[in-house]
Structure formats: C-alpha cells, structure tokens
Homo-oligomer: A and B are copies of this chain.
Amino acid sequence: MKLATFKSADRDGSLVVVNRELTKAKAVPNIALTLQAALDNWSEVEPQLQQAYQTLNRDKCECIPFDSCLAAAPLPRAYQWLDGSAYLSHVERVRKARGADMPNRLFDDPLMYQGASDNMLGACDPIEAANEEWGIDFEAEVGVITDDVEYGVSIKDAAIHIKLILLVNDVSLRNLIPDELAKGFGFLQGKPASAFSPVAVTPDELGAAWEDSKLHLPLMVYWNERLFGNANAGADMQFSFARLIHHAAKSRKLATGTIIGSGTVSNYDLTRGYSCIVEKRVVEIIETGAAVTEFMRFGDKIQIEMLDGQGLSIFGAIEQEVSPCR
C-alpha cells in the first residue's frame, strides 16, 4: 500500500491513497483524515486503507492525478524523529578524515540523535537557508514509521512495529555542526527541517527487497542532475531498523507516528558514490589531503529516489532546490 499526505488548509494535510504506479490518488475521509489519525488507530484502519488501495489499483475511479509536488511530508508534523547512523562506512570515513579510529563499541552500539519533528518538508519544498556559508548538505536516507512501541522492546519484537517505509533527506548545515557538537548536547542548529519522499509504503509493497528490517535496493542520489550516489541501502547496514527501534526504546516507549531514519546510506564500495557531500569531502581529504567538492549553493538541486526491480519509482522522488530564506 502507498500513502501520501496532500497539502491542505489544515496543518496536518489530507491523507490520500496512491496507486502503485504513482499516477493517481484518492482521499479517504471516511477512513481517516490524516496519516497521524490513521496511525493512532492503525490495526483497525489499515485493512480499510488496504482495501481502498486495491480498488484504486484495479478500477477506474474519480480520483486526482498524483503529483509529488502536491504532497506534504507524509507526517507534516510528527511527534518524534530519531535518526540513526547505521552505515559504518560513513562513520569510519568521517572519523578517519579527522584522524580518529573506530572504537569497537561503535560496531555494537548505534549512534542516534533526537531530531526536530515540528516542521517536516514535503518532497518538493525548498531547502531554505539564511546563509549560504553554513555548509548546506543533503543526507539521503531510508526511514520507517512505527506504531506504539513498548518500553524496552526486544529486537525481535521491534520489527513488527514497522508500519511504513519512506525516504528522507536529512538536511545538514555542516559548518554549524563542529561548534555545536563540541558543546556536547548534540545537534540543534546544524540539523534544520528534514524532507521526506512524497509517498510512504507498507513493508509488503517491497516484496523480497525488504528483509531483516533492511531495504535491499540502491538509493539514487542526483546532485544538480548528475548521479552522485547509488549505494545499496541493504548492504553495509550494520544496524537494522528493528535494532534501531530497540535502541531508541531502551528507557522509554515510543508513540505511534515515530519516524526513525537509517542515517546516511553508504557502502564500503566507493564506486557506489555518496549519499551526502561531506562523505565525498572526507574521502578527498583521506586521498589527497584536502577537500575539493564544495557544499550546496542557492539554486542547487538534489534528487533522491529508489526504483524497484522493474524501474518503477517506489516512493516518488524528493526533488528540492536550495533557496535563500524568505
């Protein structure tokens, strides 16, 4: 099943079911007005949404042509956004560039930060920044949305709480981050609003590509229309989404509608390119002693998308442009 949230006068937008080919959409106000409302009562609502989805795929209907740019983030404001760092090739390179090794514990204990969830960007919303010198970067990721997760959930039980999967652009302001992290309290100003794919899908939609709470497909990243990365999101993912949920819920429960990100997708195989600029820069530092690639400028474009085995876009594309803050 594929779901999206269309922008509307309401802050939470309007839930729509989208067909498999992403060509048409249908509001389902008799089932749920918003995605959060559906998640609040998921076990009851999901079968009804699945039925609407089957009908939409099969029949001609009075429906709206689907356009990614009509879409807000699936959850335009969410109660929780947690971002992991599950790809250790990314972590290892960033550390190596500053002369730090990889402590053993990082192979067992996931990095994760609590991010801002009050304003989530739609797939076509601009990346607004007040200052081009802040080091504007993208981070292409996979994310999941959970239902209610119990306090201290086991890894095994965590997997069943994954209700939806989507793509994320975790926008980062690299030049604000070093000072911020030096203060010791994590990210705040360095991690402004993230953007999400127009569509979120249920795990069954992914077939064999969804295995062990990992999504085994390449994540395509185009920067200014040139391929920048196509790392496989299933390869080199040290911590599965079930593992990340288990980590997040060690000392508290998680409310339905919690979004958990994988962290920047990255492979040890450098021919797969990069899912963020900073990783390319650190490889340049390791190889030549200096970073050459610059961060994003106003007018720069980023596209993030994932195709299935038939070349069909699964989630629709995140397609953003960097623009000065209005």
Contact = CB atoms under 8 A, between A and B. Distances in A.
Interface of A: 11, 40, 77-80, 82, 85, 109, 111-119, 128-130, 134, 151-152, 173, 176, 181, 183-190, 192-193, 247-248, 250-255, 257-258, 325
Contacts of A85: 185
A113 B173 contact: no
A188 B114 contact: yes
A186 B118 contact: no
How many copies of this chain sit in the oligomeric assembly?
A: 2
A210 B252 CA distance: 34
A119 B185 contact: no
Nearest to A106: B183
A257 B119 CA distance: 12
B183 A109 contact: yes
Given A114-B187, A130-B152, A255 B119 contact: yes
Contacts of A187: 114, 185-186
Nearest to A253: B119
A192 B252 contact: yes
Given A189-B250, A254-B118, A79 B77 contact: yes
Contact of A80 (B40, B116, B129, B184): B116
- Provide the main secondary structure of the chain A interface: loop
20 contacts: A11-B40, A80-B117, A80-B118, A82-B188, A109-B183, A111-B183, A112-B185, A113-B114, A113-B185, A114-B186, A114-B187, A116-B252, A128-B151, A129-B251, A173-B251, A184-B186, A185-B187, A186-B186, A188-B247, A193-B252
Contacts of A151: 128, 130, 325
Nearest to A83: B185
A27 B250 CA distance: 36
A245 to B, nearest CB: 12
Contacts of A173: 251
A252 B119 contact: yes
Nearest to A257: B118
Contacts of A129: 251
A37 to B, nearest CB: 10
Contacts of A109: 183
A115 B80 CA distance: 9
Contacts of A184: 111, 181, 184, 186
B186 A185 contact: yes
Which 5 residue pairs spanning A and B have beta carbons closest together? A186-B186, A118-B255, A79-B118, A80-B118, A192-B252
Contact of A188 (B40, B112, B183): B112
Given A79-B77, A185-B186, A186-B185, A192 B251 contact: yes
Given A113-B185, A130-B251, 15 more contacts: A11-B40, A11-B255, A80-B117, A114-B115, A114-B116, A116-B252, A117-B117, A118-B255, A119-B252, A119-B254, A130-B250, A151-B325, A189-B250, A190-B251, A192-B251
